[in-house]
Structure formats: structure tokens, C-alpha cells
A and B are shown apart, each in its own frame.
Chain A
């Protein structure tokens, strides 16, 4: 079946450090891939997405490249800030098996804490 595996947290970094959060997936067909972010006390927000192999999604200094050969979608940022502290979810989209509705399968989330 379809699934998403991401590195366990928590991840703690100093401000301006380089960030990588690993994500790999298992899927049939050609899913779209997403990174969502959840700030404290809020719902999930889309951070970036990629819809086909070799696409790079980017937003707010974060980047992730859809790698079909390694089935990966790792999240990176060159210089993190305290305001990036949040929980990050890797996800893929797939169709609901017996209808036309799509759904998203989420990874377990990685908590990121940035020290000033």
C-alpha cells in the first residue's frame, strides 16, 4: 500500500544551521508529494509541493525535490530561524480506492526546534 516514512524527531538546531528532514515514500502510480507545517496551536499549512519526478518545490527558503529513483522527498533549508520551529509533515496524495476523491497520506511528523 501507499505510505510515507519520515525521520523521527525531535530535531534541535541552532539558528542559521542547515536543515534536512528525510522523507521516503511507497506508492503505486505517480503521486504528488507535499510538505506541510504545523505551528503551535494551529492546523496544518501547505509548505511546498511537487507533482512529478524531478520537480522541485520551494517556499520560504525551504526546498524539496521529487526523486523517483530513490522514492524520496527530503526537506532542506540552508539557514533556519527560530520562527521555523514547528512540526513538519511529509505527505503524498492518492485516490480513494472506490471513488474519485483524492486523499493525502501523512507521515508521522518531525518536530523541529530552533535555538536562538
Chain B
């Protein structure tokens, strides 16, 4: 148990559906991250939020829309996804957005399948 929870753990959706992934951290951290982990590909950083402000968007398609209403919660809104978007989506948080020494704490991930 890392203090970062993600729901749902598994999600199957059609290409025309709209769904949201939720992440919550109970660690008092100030930075939160979304990653995409696909089979046989490196971990891809998607979004970074620092103090609830988005500070990085790594050229992620607009069908992925993040939302960070407060420092404890992070959402990833999904719409009109493609089959190649099927992956494990990992959320992480870190203590101090300015601190290079601070590791990230990961949630267990949401396994997304787009049919």
C-alpha cells in the first residue's frame, strides 16, 4: 500500500464511450503525474501537475483530458479512444515538486481495454 489509490482497477470501453479514471493520494504531496504503460514500450509520462497547475503535457492527444481539482485528486477523462490506447495507466505523486531527491509514489494502475 503506497498511499496512492486508483479506480477503477480495470476498465473496458468502446471507442465512442466517455469514461474517467480517478487517482487519490493520501500522502500530502504537492505534485501528481499520469503515466501510460504499454506492453513492450517504455513508461510514458503524460501529464504533470504541480500545486494543482498543469506544468507539462507531453504531446498527448486531446482525447485524454486531465483534471486536478485539488492536490489530493487527479482525474483522466477519456473520450473517443482508439484500440491503441489500451494500456495500464499509472498515477503517481511526489512530496515536493521542486525536489530532485523526492521519489514518486505510484498507484496500482488502471488496466484499460478499448474495444
Besides the known contacts A44-B104, A102-B31, 20 further A-B residue pairs in the complex with CB atoms under 8 A apart:
A43-B6, A43-B108, A44-B90, A45-B2, A93-B101, A93-B102, A94-B100, A96-B56, A99-B56, A100-B50, A100-B97, A101-B48, A101-B49, A101-B55, A102-B94, A102-B97, A102-B100, A104-B103, A106-B42, A109-B42
Identify the closest chain B residue to A44 (Cβ).
B106
- B-to-A contact residues, CB < 8 Å: 2, 4, 6, 31, 33, 41-43, 45, 48-50, 55-56, 90, 92, 94, 96-109
Identify the closest chain A residue to B6 (Cβ).
A43
Q: How far is the CB of B3 from chain A (nearest CB, A)?
A: 11
Inter-subunit contact A43/B100 (CB<8 Å): no
Q: What is the total of A-B residue contacts with beta carbons within 8 Å?
A: 81
- Indicate with 1 or 0, residue by residue over A77-110, a CB within 8 angstroms of chain B CB atoms: 0000000000001000111101111111011110
Identify the closest chain A residue to B105 (Cβ).
A46
